[in-house]
Amino acid sequence: MMRRRQFLKFLGASVLSAGINSYVNNADVNEDVRVFEFLSGDIQKLYNYRALALLDRDIKSVDTFDSLIKKLDVKLKGDLTLTGLEGELVGTTIAYSRRFSRNEASLPEISEFSYSTSSKKEAYKKRVEELTKFTVYQDEEKFILSTMEDFWFLTKDDLEALNNYVFSVNSLEKKFNEEKISESLGISTTINNYSPHLDTVYNISCKENMDFEDLLSILTIESKGDIYSVSVVGALGSWQIMPYVARSFWQIM
């Protein structure tokens, strides 16, 4: 019988070798090609850039993307609509986790939870897009990152980092959409869902001397990186921890 650790290693190898390796090591990109000239998106796209740089252990590019993310993140702070949507998501997730863990929820309620959280997540995502939508364009010899209200001139490091990872991010987003349609288990969905928090996993892997890719394998199996995930028995969040386990751990800490 295959032990859990062996299973994770096996699944991790099959999922990650087909996933992560296709997103990193893009040294062959022609530096003269302005592949980012018509780049557009929102803060999620920049988080995906950052995630792939982190998977490549390219800390210089991670820092570069952090600086770009910080510019857009200001738009999210203090927005009452976004705060309300996030509060609803968190409240719904915790409420159903309690009912599921106590076996108090019926099958119709479980289905309703899935539908309700999906619609709320889409509303939250749409609001983030509205607040952080940007384009990158060239004005004479300068490249500019522009939102509806602000703009910033991009540095040489910004352009180099965007150039190095633009093809990888496009590949990630394409595979994420394919996995979403087929409802299949895949690392692309995990990276996309968990990209704003991926540095936490990386830091833990370094501190505890654990394999970064192994942790991503577990994350993929448990929830595909969905921080609002709730199982039918009440396991909560991206790591699928039971509420009573989390409370016990918190008391120990």
One-letter-per-residue 3-state SS of 229-241: CECCCCCECCCCE
For residue 100, pLDDT beyond 70: yes
The region of weakest confidence among 74-78, 108-112, 171-175 is: 108-112
Q: How confident is the model at residue 12 (pLDDT cuts 50, 70, 90)?
A: very low
- What is the predicted pLDDT for the residue at 37? 55
> Closest Cα to residue 33, out of 162, 130, 144, 153?
162
Alpha helices by DSSP H, 26-79: 43-55, 59-73
Q: What is the pLDDT of residue 80?
A: 93
pTM tops 0.85, yes or no: no
* Span 200-226, average pLDDT: 89
Q: Strand 142-146 relative to strand 134-139: parallel, antiparallel, unpaired?
A: antiparallel
pLDDT, one tens digit per residue, over 13-27 is 444 444 554 554 444
pLDDT of residue 124: 94
